Amino acid sequence: MEDFQFYSDQTTEGKIVASLERISQAFRVLLWKKSKEFSLTPLQVQILIFLFTQNEEKKKVSYLAKEFNVTKATISDTVKTLEQKHLVVKDNEATDSRSFVINLTEKGNKIAGQTSSFAKEIYSPIAELSRDDKKNVLSSLIKLIIHLNKTGVISVLRMCTTCSYYRPSDDEKKDHCTLLKRDLDHVHIRVDCREHKMLDFPTTV
């Protein structure tokens, strides 16, 4: 694996890795285009979308730094700029007045909603896949993400298979969420869940 060059590797594995690299490039391009439209940086847009979709306990500088793999200083500077643009406000936490959460203003909420569709060119062709193809792609991607988490490449995971509320299927029962009290087939498995609570040791699928 030491001299592995997936760009020149014509195996199926090599082509899949090269394809994922292209898709990752497409995400960067689409995010950059959407950011430019609103005179924001890609990180500013990512933070707005994150605040739009996640719950209180995650709206903190330290969590954002981990989420986006940048320093706390970078997040603090970006939040300051967003405050100056009247897109976010810092509110004291109800339980601890020394710490604060970052919330969207009305204007920030509107822009977050408008920018959150930046990846629709990637979403559209996926929506056209058959149900079985979607299921297989999702299952393969989940396995890949779990591996990347276990090897320390991705530090933050919020999906069912790494959640303490997740009960995997056995011979008689389907996968189940004990918090939402519902069965989870492949369509309902969440990859980015607001209610996620991390397991010490992720479950494999």
Interacting residues toward ligand SF4 by CB under 6 A: 160, 163, 165-166, 177, 179-180, 190, 193, 195-196
Q: Measured from the CB of residue 197, what is the shortest distance to ligand SF4 in angstroms?
A: 7
Measured between its terminal Cα atoms, the distance across the chain in Å is 24
The smaller minimum CB distance to ligand SF4, of residues 102 and 193, is found at 193
The smaller minimum CB distance to ligand SF4, of residues 120 and 194, is found at 194
Q: Measured from the CB of residue 155, what is the shortest distance to ligand SF4 in angstroms?
A: 17
Q: Measured from the CB of residue 75, what is the shortest distance to ligand SF4 in angstroms?
A: 24
Q: What is the 3-state secondary structure (H, E, C) of 7-72?
A: CCCCCHHHHHHHHHHHHHHHHHHHHHHHHHHCCCCHHHHHHHHHHHHCCHHHCCHHHHHHHHCCCH
**182-183, strands of its sheet edge to edge:** 166-167, 176-177, 182-183
Neighbours of 174 (CB within 10 A): 13
Q: Measured from the CB of residue 177, what is the shortest distance to ligand SF4 in angstroms?
A: 3
Distance of CA 177 to the CA centre of its chain: 20
Q: Measured from the CB of residue 136, what is the shortest distance to ligand SF4 in angstroms?
A: 20
Count of CA atoms in the C-beta half-sphere (13 A) of 172: 0
The smaller minimum CB distance to ligand SF4, of residues 30 and 154, is found at 154
CA–CA gap between residue 195 and residue 135 (Å, rounded): 23
The smaller minimum CB distance to ligand SF4, of residues 82 and 163, is found at 163
The smaller minimum CB distance to ligand SF4, of residues 45 and 157, is found at 157
Q: Measured from the CB of residue 157, what is the shortest distance to ligand SF4 in angstroms?
A: 9
The smaller minimum CB distance to ligand SF4, of residues 186 and 190, is found at 190
DSSP bridge pairs for 91: 101
CA–CA gap between residue 71 and residue 134 (Å, rounded): 36
